[in-house]
Amino acid sequence: MRPPRAWAPLWRKGLHWRTWREVDRAAFRLVATRHWPGAEDVLPRLSRSANHGRLWFAVAAGIAASGSPRARRCAARGIASLAVASATVNTLGKRSVRRARPLLEGVPLVRQLRRQPITTSFPSGHSASAAAFATGVALESRRWGAVVAPVAASVAFSRVYTGVHYPSDVLAGAALGFGAAFAVRGVAPTHSQLPPTARPVAEAPALREGKGLVIVTNASSGPSGRTATAPEADDAAQQDAGGDARVPVAEDMAAEDPATAEVQSVLPRAEVVAYGPRDGALRDVLEEAAQRALALGGALGVHGGDGSVNAAATVATRHGLPLAVLPGGTRNHFAYDLGIESADHTARAVTSGEAVAVDLGRFAPVGPDGGPGEGPSGYFVNTFSLGSYPELVRLRERWAPLMGSRAAGVLAAWHVLRTSRPVEAGVAGRQRPLWLMFVGNCTYRGVGLAPVRRHDLADGLLDVRTVRGGRFARTRLLSAAVAGALGRRSRRSSAKLRSLLVTGLPEGTHLAYDGEVAEAPGQLLLDKEREALVVYRPMPG
């Protein structure tokens, strides 16, 4: 029989464990006895601020307040990772290894926390939360991760600095937090991991640095900018522009208009028209821009929110032009569903000629004989609605930053149900009272009062959701809003249709489409124009 190795008995006696423990304590004493310039006023406070995750909730709120979808995803993923790490530490880690806290004899009094933790030492919960939050944020955005990482590292180091943890406690906690963030990613993939949406690829010209692209900017905040007209340009430019036509914005004007500056920073050779309230109707400006784009053999662009995109999509479809969408408004649902989150994304697609074809929803009045009727008609790139839904969405989005989406949805539902009345409408040949009628251009994810993103913008379907009136309708709807979903008891119905005829609308009824409001005709037809619009979109890979 082969004799055991010489080190085996030593290992069983714990020689390696004792060695590691001595190294761990030596590192703790080194940190405790060394003077760290400027740390005494910062690290203890930073350590206390991270109690119960308060610091990370504040950081998440700050990140989300920047307003971009990526920032909101970073905040949500960071908090989710923190929650998993914290739950793991408190339920498994602390109970599995009951290690005593370090003795504070060598730690200067000025560093020590006012309230010493009473839980066991291994692993460090603060370090786990810090690592989980920072890793979760970094998995969604490297830039935000680079901002958060130094704060997370400082929190982890502060636990040794203040004498409440050994270095090995901090390392184990950080490893656990790192793993928690990746566990969350396994359940909820990051945006970059999601497969590309299945939309038909379309042909569009590749416009190097934006040459041939005419962009109308309609910024939702800040100075609207002035529109350069031919009298302000030199005589040669005036002759080329054809009299009083608008021409590209000058550099001094770009400096005055943040929207124009943003566009020209990513597409320097594009022609930019800065639209302002005194320039007349936006559609007229877009028509002039489309004529210019046709002459150049290029494309039409728009920088603004969903209302501006709707107007630009209508003009681009009529002239057969590709559309470049640069998100720049308060609401950019169409751009985000398309996969465009910044002007850089659009610029990359424009310069490489990458584009897709998308559907447009359409509404039109119908006469008594079934032919064309009198009244407003148009396209919608996102949603069409009747009844109280437009007001509910407006209030929910207005209040959500103050109290969160769920609470804002409940209060908005209560306000609408308290102040509104159902709309009488004929749907599927039957006249009935409707509290809400939502029609989405393509299928939306989510249920209830707040359907959200779309995976496919060319599925050929209308997402129709209605909530009927009736006895105790207000109570049922409010209960559904609190629960976060609308079920059969709330008299909700939904369908995926290619067309829908709505009849019997009383005079004075209003309709809403992509943020625009108009008086509805007595009856109207909702349908789809399949793959009607070619829009630039960067392809993955």
- Measure CA 33 to chain center: 47
Alpha carbon distance 204, 459 (integer Å): 21
How high is the pLDDT of residue 476?
55
How high is the pLDDT of residue 113?
72
CB 354 within 8 A of CB 535: no
CB 449 within 8 A of CB 409: yes
CB 516 within 8 A of CB 305: no
How high is the pLDDT of residue 535?
96
Q: Extract the tokens encoding 486.
A: 């609308």
pTM of the model: 0.63
Alpha carbon distance 411, 527 (integer Å): 33
How high is the pLDDT of residue 120?
80
How high is the pLDDT of residue 40?
77
Helix, strand or coil, per DSSP, at residue 426: strand
CB 102 within 8 A of CB 210: no
How high is the pLDDT of residue 193?
60
pLDDT along the chain (541 residues), means of 10: 45 55 79 78 85 91 83 89 88 74 74 75 88 93 92 90 85 91 83 62 92 84 34 34 39 57 89 84 93 95 91 96 88 85 89 94 90 88 82 71 70 74 81 84 71 82 81 56 45 79 88 84 93 89 54
Taking alpha carbons only, the member of 262, 293, 297, 271 closest to residue 215 is 271
How high is the pLDDT of residue 204?
93
Taking alpha carbons only, the member of 144, 140, 107, 117 closest to residue 50 is 117
CB 325 within 8 A of CB 355: no
Q: Extract the tokens encoding 86.
A: 């914290």
Dihedral in degrees, nearest 10, Cα atoms 479, 481, 485, 486: 60
What stretch of H or E contains 434?
strand 430-441
